[in-house]
Chain A
């Protein structure tokens, strides 16, 4: 039986893979960038399927809203639209290496006993994830689940600060690189 979720999944899978292929093979870079936005949206859809709605929103805002646009800017600024997205001389090694890795990953994914969580806990996890931002206080007898915000400034405060520093450094580095030499 194909449930609604499964149908959505297969649609998203086909869309994301076709779009991704398009990104790497289409000759026109501008179209590549647009297809990239499609990949990002499809991945956001996967996040919804995985009951990570907050991440889906973040994905759309950052990737689709910011990064895709940034790419389009870059493409326009470097006047590479017409020159196009040419392949280099490493076609065969690149294909073989990617294919080998893909096979390896699929074998690993299929052959491993992942020990997924029991069916009974699914509801709890889904509700906790759905309410990721606020957190769940009274989810059954297994106790609650802290929200993302609390996690970020609680348990993961150190990586959080490190990433903040990284962003600051990237900001300054981007400025330094993009500034023309004379000014």
Chain B
């Protein structure tokens, strides 16, 4: 039996760290900024140990249901603070604390020279605490509170370098766009609260999550407390919130911009954990979705479409982090599609493996940035010679993402594609087939953009890094890109950064097969299909079963993945002299001395034209309008900002509120000021300075009281 306080401690450790850092270390001990990092890491170690303990106990079937503590009793509904330690939560706390711990260790190196390091770790503590609170919540209002806290910490961390206008804008964008989705979630909560009496009639609390599950189930008398259109609407509201957080189309556009934050933040928040909160939310309310087929179909289609569309955008980005951002959106699309198809276990399994390999890829990108001084892949190249460890680890992460046997990504992605292939879920088989096609196409694109990234970054010759990019920007007269420095030092990153990546790489390679062994009855004490069975045991209502391993699907997805890698190799890695205007992808191999920093710069100068070459000859640019369409992200930003924001909001909505403010609100304010002044003038006349006048007024008051008392009051003695 795990004591309740121990489970709470998982959440309280990072919270305590947040309070200590922001109230003690930042104000008083800011001279030793690394201290806050160590504090958070210590807190997370404790939290991780506790999380694993909880997971083990939960797996043994221990009773982890604790009664919730009522915070606010609202009649039919009660806002409670409670723990919901079902298998989904147990997996999530381990993933969150584990990935967060590794990312914090990495941050010690990555953020070493940043003056705001204490603030950074304070935000990180707040984020980790909020995320843990989110997954542990047993009450939907409690969950919503943490949901918004997670959004807040995301905002703070994206805008961490708030002196950069682009970072500030990205933070605002993230906050506002996710807020649009959150409105749906909030409406769903309000709907549940509003229908409290119907819940109460069945002895249910409309805000308690297991009670909400139960409410969606058919009653013996027919119908359900929460059913029909109402259920569909509630599900769609929850999905809107999830889509905002998880960057599903059409609310995805904030996630690539969120890469303005420090890279470890991108790894932890915008790849591994927070964006997975949307998937978690849909999984949390999966028993509701199962009863609402229309909502399921929407989830499946939006997920499938997002998986494909985001992958196409990943093809053409120059910024290594943006490639990964679109990759993240795409993979989240896979998870959503899986949930929509009723594949509960595969979705969470993919969430689990994705957390590891995507965090690894982001940390690798940060490591590359540390060396090259830029995130722009056009100015990288050839880094595998200087950064062998980063190269190897990124290769593992990339292969895992692409889904190559036997790395983790293969197993989880394969389960999702199998579910779409079989189409046995609650969704129409035609929808399932459409989703299957989208997901397979996305798998091809995933393989292509992943290896495009690896080839551009690590193969070929070095193309100058941040120093070169700044020069080019100056030469073309455009403002210097942000987040680019001219400090290029081509060398492997320090051990404190490589070690967490190594751990993540091991997880990204092995977690898939170890957590969910196929084909065998038992592997190293882990029973076959452990993860699926374990996670699916969370469904106290409804039912989901992971399909067994499917050979045709595995072959299809492997072939597709290899085809994508092959294409990428043909386009980007094959050494070939360029046919047109002397542009070459791979210039003559630089002398060995390139490996030292000074001569690397020198070489970059020497081979100016050669180094510039890839900038002008993106092979995909030959696709013309299609490339432009993709490069401009389907013009969605233009649509949102140009049309929706500028015209609808600025002109009409803002115009209306502006008019109202000028005339109505200001009018009322001015009127009240004018009235006050006039009354003041009037009353000032009374202040004569004549004591006797005051006395007469006082006596007049006494007379009035006396008259009132005699006329209406009870006489003395009566």
**Chain A residues proximal to chain B, CB less than 8 Å:** 88, 90, 93-94, 97-98, 100-101, 104-105, 107-108, 111-115
Q: Which of chain B's residues have a CB closer than 8 A to the CB of A94?
A: 692, 696
**Cβ of A93: which chain B residues have Cβ within 8 Å of it?**
693, 696
Query: Does B23 touch A at the CB level, under 8 Å?
Result: no
In the complex, which residue of chain A has the Cβ closest to the Cβ of B692? A90
Secondary structure dominating the interface of A: helix
Q: A97-B700, A111-B715 are in contact. List 6 more A-B contacts (CB 8 A).
A: A94-B692, A97-B696, A101-B699, A108-B710, A113-B715, A113-B716
Distance of A111 Cα from B713 Cα, bound (Å)? 13
Q: Which residues of B contact A113 (CB under 8 A)?
A: 715-718
* Alpha-carbon distance A88/B690, docked complex (angstroms): 11
* Complex: A100 Cα to B704 Cα, angstroms: 9
| B692/A88 in contact, CB under 8 A | yes
Would you call B696 and A101 a contact (CB within 8 A)? Answer: no
Given A90-B692, A93-B696: A101 touches B717 (CB 8 Å cut-off): no
**Mask of B689-718 contacts with A, CB within 8 angstroms, 1/0:** 010110010011011001100100001111
Output the least CB separation between A36 and chain B (Å). 19
Picked from B693, B703, B716, the residue with its CB within 8 Å of the CB of A112 is B716
Report which of B693, B706, B717, B718 forms a contact with A105, defined as CB distance below 8 A: B706
Cα A78 to Cα B710 in complex, Å, equals 44
Chain A residues with CB below 8 A from B702, complex form? 101
State how many angstroms separate the Cβ of A178 from the closest Cβ of chain B. 21
Interface contact B716-A104, CB-CB below 8 Å: no
Chain B residues with a Cβ under 8 A of chain A: 690, 692-693, 696, 699-700, 702-703, 706-707, 710, 715-718
Given the known interface contacts A101-B703, A101-B706, the answer about A112 and B715 at a Cβ–Cβ threshold of 8 Å is yes
Assess A104 versus B703: contact at CB under 8 Å? Given A90-B692, A90-B693, A90-B696.
Answer: yes
Name the 7 nearest CB pairs between A and B, nearest first.
A113-B717, A104-B706, A112-B716, A100-B703, A93-B696, A97-B699, A101-B703
Q: Which residue of A lies closest to B717 (CB)?
A: A113
Tell me the nearest residue of chain B to A94, going by C-beta: B696
Q: How near does chain A come to B700, taking the closest CB pair, in angstroms?
A: 6
Instruction: Tell me, in angstroms, the Cα distance from A166 to B530 when the chains sit together.
Output: 89
Q: List 5 A-B contacts (CB under 8 A).
A: A88-B692, A90-B692, A101-B699, A101-B706, A113-B715
CB distance from B426 to the nearest CB of A (A): 84
Measured CB to CB, the closest approach of chain A to B368, in angstroms, equals 84
Q: Complex formed: what's the CA distance from A105 to B693 in Å? A: 22
**Bound: A140/B396 CA distance, A:** 113
A113-B715, A113-B718 given as contacts; is B706 within 8 A of A108 (CB)? yes
In the complex, what distance in Å separates the CA atom of A97 from the CA atom of B699? 7
Question: How far apart sit A115 and B696, CA to CA, in the bound complex (Å)?
Answer: 33
In whole Å, how far is B716's beta carbon from the nearest beta carbon of chain A? Answer: 5
Contact (Cβ within 8 A) B710 A115: no
A residues near B700, Cβ cutoff 8 Å:
97
Report Cα–Cα, A92/B690, bound state, in Å: 15
Minimum CB distance partner of B716 in chain A:
A112
Closest to B715 in A: A112
Tell me, in angstroms, the Cα distance from A115 to B718 when the chains sit together: 10
Q: Which of A100, A114, A115 has the most CB of B within 10 A?
A: A100
Question: A94, A105, A115 — which one has the most chain B CB atoms within 10 A of its CB?
Answer: A94
Q: How far is the CB of B539 from chain A (nearest CB, A)?
A: 76
Q: Measured between alpha carbons, how far is A43 from B716 in the docked complex, in Å?
A: 26
Distance in Å: Cβ of A161 to nearest Cβ of chain B: 30
For the complex, give the distance between the alpha carbons of A32 and B717 in Å.
40
Could you tell me the distance between the alpha carbons of A114 and B715 in the complex, rounded to whole angstroms?
Answer: 10
Q: How far is the CA of A113 from the CA of B715 in the complex (A)?
A: 8
- A101 / chain B contacts, CB cutoff of 8 Å: 699, 702-703, 706
Query: CA of A169 to CA of B38 in the docked complex: distance in angstroms?
Result: 66
Residues of the B chain whose Cβ atoms lie less than 8 Å from the Cβ of A112: 715-717
Nearest-neighbour CB distance to chain B for A14, whole angstroms, equals 26
Closest to B709 in A: A108
| Bound: A40/B185 CA distance, A | 84
Q: Which of B690, B710, B718 contacts A107 (CB 8 A)?
A: B710
Q: Is the CB of B703 within 8 A of A97?
A: yes
Q: How far is the CA of A77 from the CA of B246 in the complex (A)?
A: 93
B693 to chain A: closest residue by CB: A90
A115 adjacent to B717 (CB under 8 Å): yes
Contact of B717 among A88, A104, A107, A114 (CB under 8 A): A114
Across the interface, name the chain B residue whose C-beta is closest to A113.
B717
Task: Note all chain B residues with C-beta closer than 8 A to A100.
Answer: 703
Alpha-carbon distance A43/B322, docked complex (angstroms): 101
Minimum CB–CB distance for A110 against chain B, Å: 11
Q: Which residue of B lies closest to A89 (CB)?
A: B690
Minimum Cβ distance to chain A for residue B678 (Å): 26
User: Shortest CB–CB separation between residue B691 and chain A, in angstroms?
Assistant: 11
Q: How far is the CA of A80 from the CA of B718 in the complex (A)?
A: 51
Give chain A residues whose Cβ lies under 8 Å from the Cβ of B699: 97-98, 101
